[in-house]
Amino acid sequence: MTTIVVIAKECLPGRVKTRLHPPLSLEQAAELAAASLDDTLAALAALPATRRILAFDGVIAPLAAAGYEILPQVEGTLDVRLAAVFDACEGPTVLVGMDTPQLTSAQLEPVFTDWTDDVDAWFGFADDGGFWALALNDLADARVRGDLIRGVPMSRDDTGALQLKRLTDAGLRVSLLPTLTDVDTIDDAHRVAEIAPTGGFAEALTAMTAPSTTDGLR
């Protein structure tokens, strides 16, 4: 009885992955973000979730999210938006972002197979100091779940550490998921493409950055 939530923005030029510009154009950055989201959704498809939600900031959801409930993101900072997701869900809930296209179903499988009575939460650090996944069990008071996130400063190199401390300070017993690379910069993008060379993300990046083989006129 576990819910999967993917938090994502509509992949429009100038709205997503703007730190990839340059060297990519804003259009290419948006295309790469869309490939990242598609790969993420494909990895999650193999997991036995009982409910799937796309917490979406946008108008037109991706085709790969067919079968997902669309939950519009609330207004506010990222901590407020993440908190609202957990406020809206009941039971065990795992939330992931759209910036780790190298994600595999095996990396999240423990949330579905090893969620024993002595685990209240699962947490996945990103190697830039943030986090890529947070799963919360059906706590005794479901109303506190959003408050475990609300107020944590986001997009900092200590965000993950602060979020984990918020969980443990609340008395939650936390198990860790693998640390993954979030795609923020072009170097991140190349690193992730090397990890998952057969995915749509890697294919899109290669098409954008491969040297031209055209000799041109002589």
> 147 with 83: CB under 8 angstroms?
yes
pLDDT at 210: 84
Q: Which domains does the chain have, with CATH numbers?
A: 3-209 (3.90.550.10)
Q: What is the pLDDT along the chain (218 residues), one digit of tens a residue?
A: 899 999 999 999 999 999 999 999 999 999 999 999 999 999 999 999 999 999 999 999 999 999 999 999 999 999 999 999 999 998 999 999 999 999 999 999 999 988 888 999 999 999 999 999 999 998 766 657 999 999 999 999 999 999 999 999 999 999 999 999 999 999 999 999 999 999 999 999 999 998 865 545 44
Residue pointed to by tokens 């799937």: 52
Angle at alpha carbon of residue 44, lines to 41 and 48, rounded to 5°: 140
What gap in Å lies between CA 112 and CA 63, rounded to an integer?
25
